[in-house]
Structure 1
């Protein structure tokens, strides 16, 4: 294989950030390429950013071009979404070729379909397909894995409950909003996902042996209310991606067996009850605008970022995520951790997360989960990814 890493969807907002990150952190020490469907855009990007890489051209709708691309690399890292529209053939090409794959999707139903369609074949070819390798849902998935590991190693207990408190500053890009609106109102909302339905049970529960796991995880995330803090913990309210994060942990639990009946609770944290109430009111008014067609049209035309647009560099540098995780064991033991990302987690650090997720497979593949399948980071790269993130800007500690 010629390349250690190929970045697919490189000319998009997050893809560009990923290319900048690879170039600044690894440069000529890594054999890598940027890829997408338009040669001229890729050439302009390479020149503008002075990238030390090659260029590959492949269209997400052309399987032949995708096969040609993936056969030249150890791993594909893709930021090209919506993944239900742009990702399926790329997963198929990687699985058929025995090539590793990482993405930044938050589209849980599409992930279910990828498990149902390709998990068995991936185990045959050795392809490790790892979804949720960005802000959705590396911080929560790795924190849950580490908390469960500590409970088991130090106390011999399984997990009864995860609680997550999200202190975050981030803003959506046009691509993220396009994906979300497509799932809610567009063509993606009408997709049937036949393979996952034919499986007969939730595909997230499919184990590495191809059977249904008995280790369940049920989300009880905070809704459009304020849950008062207790025992020195902050108040919590709604977090938009909590359901996605819970499903990522559900997939990891099915493979790692944190516990037979785990409860998962997540919300945005606030030290002030008044700030939490204002936050809820803001989300309610935003929701009214999104769900009312005339208002949604006005918001998309004049206020919301367009695909390819995103937060400014200055805003991203001021962003952060401080994630507090609390796990309660089956015998009542409590363990607590904090994971911090000190720039915008949704884009600038998502670029870092997906690159490091991919390099964990390309450069340290013998240390991570052996054998193929459709995974989450907490079920595949695990501590190897956490160590790579710690070396490049993340902090993590137990309390």
Structure 2
């Protein structure tokens, strides 16, 4: 019989912006009612964080490339929750070791190509060791992934097993990026991560997101047709939409869940919603100016040097408390029937509630009963209703229309 693990959860990357918020959440929500520790590469920063926000919780030190140190951490815990991005840069060894050692793992990545590589490399390994590797356990992409899962189930229950033909999502959101998020985005667009080959996924011969437990390509396909610029609503009950920066990531998370859960052969469309056409156009103009500044190297340098937040920095507490997210989802079935839902978050979803989502995703695996074997998953294909219940108990709202 394997030795009992000391910790229910170890938070890796705890000293970053989102990691610090997760420490605050763990301290205020759970205190000493669960066994947890924080981990990262800087002992001094971890000690300061533990004293200031962690209630003097245990600290574990290991760099993201320190195989021996990471192994020692993994052997002490039931689940690792990682906030240490960019994940293509810092996350691969940790995922590899969790998969090989049979330890559950959650992260908040939005890096889809890296997720594809993790599936290609470690899905079979994790199934053999029964490790549950779950990506997208934050704002990227729990609200959409869980909503799609719930809508597909509702459609099937209400209409005699009807499959989904189309998902439509309308995102009403107030949030702002942190330095870490921008660092990840800039790395993918302009940094060395842009040149990553991600060679293992290509060996499969199909999109790794479609990989099933037996190694074959899923029969359940999904096309993404997210809003590119402007989608004017033809219904008085639905708002206008424009493009949403994270829609492609959310679509790919749902694509992975669909491959494993079998919602149907479907189309996915998502966009940010607005109350009127004027607000929509103003948003488009603002993003056009921002995009112009980002893609011109001299302006990008000025933005990063003097205007945008640096890694470790993010929105103020006051701003995060004024943030919100309301995700209206519509699932249309093959026979024309529809079901609708709304999932709501009452504070900033990108950071403050991402910290909560990450913690609850991890605790769903370590202290709750989740019926999911090993492999590389999304929340909608692993924690499912167990995670939904934990989120509802701690601040999220969900309803069908």
SS in 1 for 2:367: helix
Which of the numbers 238, 249, 255 marks the counterpart of 2:254? 249
CA-CA distance at 1:257 after TM superposition: 0.2
1:122 maps to which residue? 126
2:349 maps to which residue? 345
**TM-score, with normalisation over the residues of structure 1?**
0.98
Distance in 2, matches of 1:324 and 1:229, equals 16
Distance in 2, matches of 1:44 and 1:268, equals 39
Unmatched 5+ stretches in structure 2: none
CA-CA distance at 1:274 after TM superposition: 0.5
Distance in 2, matches of 1:15 and 1:34, equals 9
1:263-291: CA deviations, max 9, x gaps? Answer: 00000001110100010111111111111
1:225 maps to which residue? 230
Distance in 2, matches of 1:256 and 1:171, equals 32
Distance in 1, matches of 2:308 and 2:213, equals 41
* Worse-matched range after superposition: 147-156 or 223-232: 223-232
- Give the number of aligned pairs: 396
SS in 2 for 1:247: helix
1:62 maps to which residue? 66
CA-CA distance at 1:198 after TM superposition: 1.3
Matches within 5 A, 1:159-198: 159-198=164-203
1:201-221: CA deviations, max 9, x gaps? Answer: 000000122211010111100
The alignment's C-alpha RMSD in Å is 0.8
CA-CA distance at 1:63 after TM superposition: 1.3
2:99 maps to which residue? 95
1:282 maps to which residue? 286
Distance in 2, matches of 1:391 and 1:50, equals 22
1:26 maps to which residue? 30
1:301 maps to which residue? 305
1:394 maps to which residue? 396
Distance in 2, matches of 1:198 and 1:60, equals 26
How has the CA–CA distance of structure 1 residues 229 and 54 changed in structure 2, closer, same or farther, with 3 Å as cutoff? farther
| 1:229–1:236 CA contact under 8 A, matched in 2 | no
SS in 2 for 1:283: helix
Distance in 1, matches of 2:261 and 2:129, equals 22
SS in 2 for 1:56: strand
Which of the numbers 365, 373, 376 marks the counterpart of 1:374? 376
CA-CA distance at 1:52 after TM superposition: 4.5
| 1:123–1:373 CA contact under 8 A, matched in 2 | yes
SS in 1 for 2:37: strand
How has the CA–CA distance of structure 1 residues 233 and 150 changed in structure 2, closer, same or farther, with 3 Å as cutoff? same
Distance in 2, matches of 1:168 and 1:103, equals 22
Are 1:201 and 2:206 an aligned pair? Answer: yes
